[in-house]
Amino acid sequence: MALTLPATFAFSQSSLQAYANCPRRFWLAYVEQLPWPSQETKPFDAYEEQMRLGSRFHQAVRRAETGFDPELLAATLDYPLDEWFAAYTRHRPDDLPTQFVASEQVLSIPFGNENGRYRLAARYDLIAAERANEPENEQARAVIIDWKTTSRPTRRARLQEQLQTVVYPFVLVEASESLPWGPIDPAQVEMRYWFTAAPDESVIFPYSADLHAANRTRLQGLLAEMLAGSVQADFPKVPDTEQSRQHLCAYCVYRSRCDRGIDAGDLADVDDADFFVVDLEESLEFTLDTVEALAF
Ligand code: SF4
């Protein structure tokens, strides 16, 4: 027997990260799709406020990237959004390709094995790309930007471990053939994390053919593991150590169910504000039928 997921289910960096962190969390959130029985962080109001501000910042940047006047946009924003947006207007990277600039674009690619045919989807804050064989431009080139509004920048080593750093460039390269800028060499792709808390210190991850091959192996391995399971017992809880209780279970909505403590972790102690915090609604967005419309 193999894992049964809705035919329209698309994997994302969130679902893969949930599995990598704790297979049981993947089972509960994505297979059983259980509602949230407990708060992820305390104070909850501060967490909600942080999520709301992050969403409003992304909305303002999306508008600016699609041609709205930044000065008019800035006039509509209160603290701290006004400061974040000012940081964006002052420190938006000035070396990005300009031929194709896409905000909030969703790409998806085929992702499956003999146990199931699914898709792997990614929603990009910004893709800036240029086509090959244009004057002064020998090869297609693409830069992926992810805007982060966490209270402090995420450490490079931590970002490197995250499946977002694997999935985003991988999907972009695989999807590029069907996109306006055309087939792209992995070496011409770059992933950048930009932080409101350190707007002139983006963390940049160059991509390469070797990384692309390694990412393919890693993603296919994760997928094979996931699809080989069929019941909850095939998706074990993360080992019960002090470390995993403090850094994973304390921020997981399922900790009461798993008997891994009662108190939510403190938002102020989170190394990265989005550390292990999954917006379930957003994470499940790719299970919607509309994913078909996103397929290229
Ligand atoms: S509470 Fe801990 S063991 Fe349970 S799903 Fe969450 S991370 Fe996994």
Asked whether residue 130 is assigned to any structural domain, the reply reads: yes
Domain residues for 100? Answer: 10-294
Q: Which atom of ligand 1 is nearest to the CA of 21?
A: 7
Query: Which residue CA neighbors atom 5 of ligand 1 most closely?
Result: 25
Asked whether residue 3 is assigned to any structural domain, the reply reads: no
pLDDT of residue 38: 56
CATH number of the domain within which 86 lies? 3.90.320.10
Cα→Cα distances 226→84, 206, 230, 263, Å: 39, 29, 9, 30
Asked whether residue 1 is assigned to any structural domain, the reply reads: no
* pLDDT tens profile 156-186: 998 999 999 999 999 999 999 999 999 999 9
Please give the Cα distance from 196 to 194 (Å, whole number).
7
Name the domain count of the chain. Answer: 1
Asked whether residue 4 is assigned to any structural domain, the reply reads: no
What is the pTM for the complete model shown?
0.88
Question: Cβ-count burial of 39 within 10 angstroms (0-12 exposed, 13-18 middle, 19+ buried)?
Answer: middle
Asked whether residue 210 is assigned to any structural domain, the reply reads: yes
- Ligand 1 centroid vs 173 CA: distance in angstroms? 33
Asked whether residue 5 is assigned to any structural domain, the reply reads: no
- Ligand 1 centroid vs 245 CA: distance in angstroms? 8
Asked whether residue 2 is assigned to any structural domain, the reply reads: no
Residues near 235 by beta carbon (within 8 Å), at least 6 away in sequence:
19, 23, 24, 26, 27, 31, 229
Asked whether residue 163 is assigned to any structural domain, the reply reads: yes
* pLDDT tens profile 16-53: 999 999 999 999 988 888 876 655 665 666 777 888 89
Provide the residue type at 192 as one letter. R
